[in-house]
Each structure stands twice: as C-alpha cells, then as structure tokens.
Structure 1
Amino acid sequence: MFSFFHSLFAVFFYVLGSSFFIAYAFFQNNRGGVLPLWWMTTADLPLMLCTLIYGGLSLYRSLHSGLKTSYVLIFTIAIPLITLAILTIILNFWGTVPL
C-alpha cells in the first residue's frame, strides 16, 4: 500500500514542481500576465504537502526492512513532518490572518 501512495505522490510532486518551474519562468519573462503569479501563490501549499508526503514515504521505504509495519518508525518520521507542515502553513498565512 505504501508503494502505491509513494508512486502517486511522486507523480503529484513532479507535476506540481514542473508547473512551478514553468510558472516561474513565465513570471520572470513577463509572459502570461498574472496567471503565473496566481499559480505560484495558490499551489504552494499543495506542493509542500506533496513534498512532505513523498519525502516521508521515501524515507520510510528506505529505512524499513521487513514485512510487518513499523509503527514506531512511522511516528518517528511523521511527527517532524507534521510539525514542519503546520509551521509552513502558519508562516504562509502569517500576514493575511488578523490576530
């Protein structure tokens, strides 16, 4: 099951990452109007989440050896990734949400 999600999020990561690269190239060359800037500000969190999930699954698959699921390893990898995701979401909306 982990290999399916690893492959799925690998596709999401590469598609979103490539679209960011293309949008940045369009933005720097003044092509596409405001659409590249909109894409880079809208899709940053989905790219970050796909990156964390893909990276976490890659780390789990490289460290795990055996047929049984290692819940200790899952929590050891997931807790820092969840903390990093929450921190990134907070910093992304820091200036836009009134406190």
Structure 2
Amino acid sequence: MYKIHECDFLPKDGVSIVFSDSIINSDEAVWNLIIEREAIDEDLEDNHNLENVGDTIWQTVLEIYNCPFCSQTLSSDRVKNAAGNFAHINLSSWNSKRL
C-alpha cells in the first residue's frame, strides 16, 4: 500500500509524507516524513558519482503519526514502536550507505 499526504503547509521541495511499508523496511505500513536533498549543477561538478540534476544525494526518513506541518492525524492506529524509527541514507557515492 502506498499513499501520499498532501497539505497546504507542506514545503514544495525536498519534503514529502508517504504511507508505505518499504521505506524503512517495516513489517507494517506506516506514515513516513521524508526529507531529501537533490543534486544541482554544482553538485555534479563536485561529485563524479552523481549523473543528473535531480538525483537524490541523501534522504532522511522518520516514521510519524501526525503531519508536522498541518497537525492532521495520519494514523489512529498507534502500534507500539511503530513510529519514531528513522534512517538516514547517503546516496552520493556509487554504493549507498544507510546511517
């Protein structure tokens, strides 16, 4: 299952809120706040591993229950330890690193 939360307060670039079970390898689908940095021209000049403008350089994912921008409750299903997990993924080299 995959859903996207959209609200008027969500930043336009680099931030999304997604319901999925595959982002942090969770057994259950949960809402995830995703913050990412995409490559710009200068990044391509500085890092030969990046190929295109718009390639993701890094991504931080945090499991959430509520939207931090509009306060909407995204899940009333509060499962113990189902939120608060996080991951930071560095994609700036040929092999990604999960930190």
Higher strand proportion: 2
Q: Is TM more than 0.5 here?
A: no
- More helix by percentage: 1
Higher RCO by CA contacts (8 Å cutoff, separation 6 or greater): 1
| TM-score under structure 1 length normalisation | 0.28
Larger radius of gyration: 1
